[in-house]
A and B are shown apart, each in its own frame.
Chain A
């Protein structure tokens, strides 16, 4: 199996935060959603991948090469969108294009303008007059305008309205039609990820809590609703998180392992994430 992105045992320590033993495997041709609360380590992980900050331990390989060797040629094939877009504010898209085409060997000016057209971005307007949504779209257009094989998106859709988000998810789906293309997408808008991701990796407090196929997560987990007494009878091995309210218990369980008839609802990815955090608190 070829991996577009592979993190092995990556650790990074700060004074008040530690990213520990992070393992992530993104196979080629797949979309991986990277979820976690704010401050869980998502941006730190992405910065480590891009070599913006240096790791204390572990290895990171992109397209099979260590991200410290020959990063320049690797970066030709990566399209990155980070949360705070960093364009020269006084410039417009045309000027931006003239810069980018001298930075990327495979920059496609036509493709760039085509995407700007699709996004209804006025190419003569200075970036400082853009709305947040337009900035995101510009970043995404730039990420797609050279021969990217891997898209890395850090909160690319937050702050955007649902219609724009839908457009962008469509673009990602188009991108992935080529089986050499992969996407690594971090977001706290989990409903977006639930739609298009193949894999979901959940990070919390600097540690990876789970990394599974989305299908397995949705097929295996369920939310059990019952009373305290009924709950006592249940095998604790299959319980992954509990929420108690005045009238009973909600528990995240492995729904295929439960015996007997109980009320078990579908668990969304968001539910799975929240219950896992609650489990940590226990």
Chain B
């Protein structure tokens, strides 16, 4: 497992320069505004994208077939990618929180809450996309991801067209408090689905 994660980091090392430059830009923006909300959102987005990039490298190299000739199980291949995602997402979360606490203005509580919500969304996004990628490949997975990202906006537009309003504050609050539970549930189901997809896969 460790070996697989190291491989991913090594693969991403060269690729991530581009993202780091962007993050520096957002960092500077954040200092200017004394608020790292943009930084926090973007870093989470990138953290969700990078594991997919890592998987695409593996796909291009046909790594999984080779890896299965080593003492690596199909389950290892799946779990290592989830772990990679979690490592990136949680690191991003802590970096953002730290920046807000040290360099930002505004209440700590609100910024931590906001960052947590973004983290949760990041984890949920990853959990929804991964099984699609494992079953259909990275290309289709990326298309699916585009769909998901646009869906909420599309849904909101549809709702307003029909004259419906967004759910009120009470519903919003319940949603927020159950977010951790939802996140854990979605994440767990996602891993189970992905492992079972790989168990049946022929290489």
Contact = CB atoms under 8 A, between A and B. Distances in A.
Interface centre among B2, B10, B57, B58 (most CB of A within 10 A): B10
Interface stretch (B41-49, B64-72, B167-175): B64-72
Q: Which of B4, B11, B62, B69 has the most CB of A within 10 A?
A: B69
Contact of A102 (B6, B14, B66, B202): B6
Interface residues of B, number: 24
A91 B66 contact: no
Interface string A181-209: 00000000000000000000000000000
B61 A99 contact: no
Contact of B3 (A54, A71, A89, A103): A103
A72 interface: yes
Given A71-B73, A100-B3, A102-B2, A88 B68 contact: no
Given A90-B14, A105-B71, A99 B202 contact: no
Given A52-B202, A103-B3, A75 B10 contact: no
A52 B68 contact: yes
Interface in A214-229: none
Given A82-B66, A95-B10, A104 B71 contact: yes
B70 A87 contact: no
B140 interface: no
Q: Which bracket fits the contact residues of A? A: 20 to 34
Nearest to B199: A54
Contacts of A47: 203
B63 interface: yes
A152 to B, nearest CB: 8
Contacts of A100: 3
A110 to B, nearest CB: 18
A73 B72 CA distance: 10
B7 interface: yes
Contacts of B7: 88, 91, 99
Contact of B71 (A50, A73, A84, A86): A73
By CB atoms of chain B within 10 A, which of A47, A72, A98, A99 has the most? A99
A82 to B, nearest CB: 7
Interface string B1-43: 0111011001100100000000000000000000000000000
A75 B202 contact: no
Interface string A73-87: 101101010101111
Contacts of B58: 88
A88 B65 contact: no
Nearest to A73: B71
Contact of B63 (A75, A78, A86): A86
Given A50-B68, A53-B202, A86 B6 contact: no
A89 B7 CA distance: 11
A54 B63 CA distance: 19
A114 interface: no
A53 B203 contact: yes
A102 B202 CA distance: 25
Given A52-B203, A75-B71, 16 more contacts: A50-B68, A50-B69, A51-B68, A53-B202, A54-B202, A72-B71, A75-B69, A82-B65, A82-B69, A90-B10, A98-B6, A98-B10, A102-B3, A103-B3, A103-B71, A103-B72
Interface of B: 2-4, 6-7, 10-11, 14, 57-58, 60-63, 65-66, 68-73, 202-203
Interface of A: 47, 50-54, 71-73, 75-76, 78, 80, 82, 84-91, 95, 98-105
7 closest pairs, A vs B, by CB? A86-B66, A102-B3, A80-B69, A103-B3, A52-B203, A86-B62, A53-B202
